[in-house]
Structure 1
Amino acid sequence: MPALHSIVQGQGPVIVLSHALGCDLHMWDEVTALLQDRYTIVRYDQRGHGRSPASATDFNMHDLAQDAAELIAGLGRGAVHFAGVSMGGMTAQALAALHPDMVRSITIANSAARYDDAAQQGWQARIDTVRAQGVASIADGALQRWLSPEFVASHAARVARMRDSLVAIDPQPYAQACQAVAGIALHETNAAIRCPALVIAGTLDAATPLAMSQEIADGIAGAELATIDAAHISCVEQPERFAALLDGFIQRV
């Protein structure tokens, strides 16, 4: 894979931020603004999202973790604190198991370690719809999962920017990313994770409910579990709370 698009801001210990499926690095704008005075914040676009190139072939979560590992190696700053939401949180789990020397800590927000058969059927239906009708056909449903109705009603401009980022993704890389997410079996490797881990659940998150975060926390030795009163993209809906949780956790590490 060619190098992924990334932005580096701030000063201090390095935090790498990994976005959710259908988003891009601008998902982290508010959190970056809150943390860049005391951390070096590295945001990047996952394969086929934002300004990063798409993959010529199908890929899985281990491939996305390898992308992150190559990004971290290219920084030349040693092990980093790695935080991700949803697909980014899955990337964090895979990265910590595959490359333990590259992470000082991981933060896994609004994510999952595996999906049951019913959920995988739902993913396949989304893949089929996107391939037949394009990403715009699932955009409104995605936004309903991502954000609470109250946030959508009061942050129209922010929601519009997120929708624009979503529909800008070509159907093929979006479908490939859906397949990578649907196929995760991270519960099989999370027991190997040895770095400090923070798991964040959204109390209003219907896409990855609290039970999914609890399973992740139970599967990683010593992991902490915290909650945010937000839907699926908690770092956008409650950036101050998200930044405070991340900062406090890293300070304890």
Structure 2
Amino acid sequence: MPPIHFVRQGHGPEIVLSHALGCDLTMWDELADCLQHHFTVLRYDHRGHGRSPAPSGAFSMDDLADDAARFIAQNASGPVHFVGLSMGGMTAQALAARHPASVRSICIANSASHYGEGAKALWQTRVDTVRALGMEAIAEGALQRWFTPEFRDDVQGRERVNDLRRVLLSTEAKPYAEACLAVANIALDEGNRTITCPTLVIAGGRDEATPPALSEAIAAAIPGAQLQRLNAAHLSAVEQPKLFAALLEAFYQP
């Protein structure tokens, strides 16, 4: 696996931020700015996203977790606080189960641990659309799932929406489709029951992509997990970065 592109900022205990499908590390801009005063923040681009290359062929969520573990081993001083949203939250679940020595804690935001057959069919439709028509064909639907209408209508919110639209459209269709299939085929429930590190689960109260019930199921499966909610759609850390940061800082308090 070629080197993963990442950015490091701040000082203090190390936090790794793992982004959503179709995004890149810039998804975390506001949250990283909030955290950098008390933490060393490392945010990276998943394979085939942003400036990280994509190996040829299919890959799974286990592969993304192994990428994360290798990234931590190469770039952190020891176990980290790992924060993942959506696909990044799935990576967090697989990472904590497969590589428990890599993490001090995990935060799983706006995510899922498995999908039923109906949802898998929808993922396959998205894959087929991207392969046939390119990223433009799925962009507007993705942005509607990512953000609440009022965030999309707000002046500053609209600027961030446009930024992430550009990121989505610049993602190559082939690795995006493979990432969709990795997400669609997650089976994380059994591994979640083995997770022993402190775990925070964050649900978006207005998240239609991964509704709160999916976060509740994750929290119920992981021993001792805490569940919190934000008034946000799917990209809660973009819509509510200060509140998201406050949840993390409270969680990390001894």
Common fold: TM-score over 0.5: yes
- 2:197 alignment counterpart: 195
Residue 64 of structure 1 aligns with an amino acid whose one-letter code is L
Deviations 1:24-64 (A, max 9, x none): 00000000001101100000000100000012121000000
- 1:25 alignment counterpart: 25
- 2:223 alignment counterpart: 221
Following superposition, the deviation at residue 76 of structure 1 comes to 4.1
Distance 1:226 1:152 in 2: 24
2:86 matches 1:49: no
Deviations 1:140-163 (A, max 9, x none): 000000000000000221110000
- 1:245 alignment counterpart: 247
- 2:167 alignment counterpart: 165
1:134-145 aligned within 5 A = 134-145=134-145
- 1:66 alignment counterpart: 66
Distance 1:69 1:10 in 2: 21
- 2:5 alignment counterpart: 5
Structure-2 change in CA distance of 1:182 and 1:172 (3 Å): same
> If the length of structure 1 is used for normalisation, what is the TM-score?
0.99
Structure 2 contact 96–102 (Cα < 8 Å) conserved: yes
Structure 2 contact 14–76 (Cα < 8 Å) conserved: no
Structure-2 change in CA distance of 1:76 and 1:15 (3 Å): closer
CA RMSD, Structure 1 to Structure 2 (Å): 0.6
- 2:237 alignment counterpart: 235
Identity of aligned residues (%): 59
Distance 1:214 1:156 in 2: 30
Structure 2 contact 15–40 (Cα < 8 Å) conserved: yes
Following superposition, the deviation at residue 237 of structure 1 comes to 0.3
> If the length of structure 2 is used for normalisation, what is the TM-score?
0.98
Can you give the 5+ residue segments of structure 1 that lack an aligned partner in the other structure? Answer: none
Distance 2:233 2:7 in 1: 26
Distance 1:29 1:169 in 2: 18
Distance 2:187 2:108 in 1: 15
Distance 2:28 2:105 in 1: 18
Distance 2:98 2:67 in 1: 12
- 1:151 alignment counterpart: 151
Following superposition, the deviation at residue 3 of structure 1 comes to 1.1
**Structure 1 stretches of 4+ moved >3 Å:** none
1:122-137 aligned within 5 A = 122-137=122-137
Distance 1:24 1:250 in 2: 25
1:42-121 aligned within 5 A = 42-121=42-121
Distance 2:158 2:110 in 1: 22
Residue 227 of structure 1 aligns with an amino acid whose one-letter code is R
Number of aligned residue pairs: give it.
252
SS in 1 for 2:162: helix
Distance 2:185 2:56 in 1: 19
Structure 2 contact 193–221 (Cα < 8 Å) conserved: yes
Distance 1:158 1:82 in 2: 24
SS in 2 for 1:192: coil
Residue 175 of structure 1 aligns with an amino acid whose one-letter code is A
Can you give the 5+ residue segments of structure 2 that lack an aligned partner in the other structure? Answer: none
Distance 2:193 2:118 in 1: 25
